[in-house]
């Protein structure tokens, strides 16, 4: 995995993205609010990896509304654990049911 950003952003550590959206496990079903946290070199790669991870978790469709780079480590759960997982190369999916 590439840890250097593809643009002029110079962060001290790896780029950890948070993506906010809704996932759908059944066609026409009610959406589940989600936060996806992962390490990626750019936002396009982050979106692709997030969609792949959601598919592997059984989501048929996803509406991704916002994407951003975390500039500080979260202190509150479940985001603090998800951040640590993202640093280790995992894609963390937080469900709000």
d(CA 19, CA 10) in angstroms, rounded, equals 20
Residues 6+ apart with CB under 8 A from 92: 36, 37, 38, 81, 82, 83, 85, 86
First-to-last alpha carbon distance for the chain, in angstroms, is: 32
Reading phi first (left if > 0) and then psi (alpha if -120 to 50, else beta), residue 80 is in alpha
| pLDDT above 70: residue 5 | no
Q: What is the pTM of this model?
A: 0.85
d(CA 89, CA 70) in angstroms, rounded, equals 15
Confidence of residue 18 (pLDDT cuts 50, 70, 90): very high
Tens of pLDDT, residues 34-78 = 999 999 999 999 999 999 999 999 999 999 999 999 999 999 999
């Amino acid at each position: 995995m590439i840890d250097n950003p593809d643009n002029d952003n110079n962060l001290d550590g790896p780029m950890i993205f948070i993506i906010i959206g809704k996932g759908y496990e059944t066609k026409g079903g009610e959406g589940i609010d989600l936060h996806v946290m992962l390490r990626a070199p750019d936002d396009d790669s982050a979106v692709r990896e997030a969609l792949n991870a959601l598919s592997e978790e059984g989501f048929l469709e996803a509406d991704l509304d916002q994407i951003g780079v975390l500039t500080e480590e979260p202190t509150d759960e479940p985001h603090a654990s998800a951040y640590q997982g993202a640093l280790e190369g995992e894609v963390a999916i937080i469900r709000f049911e």
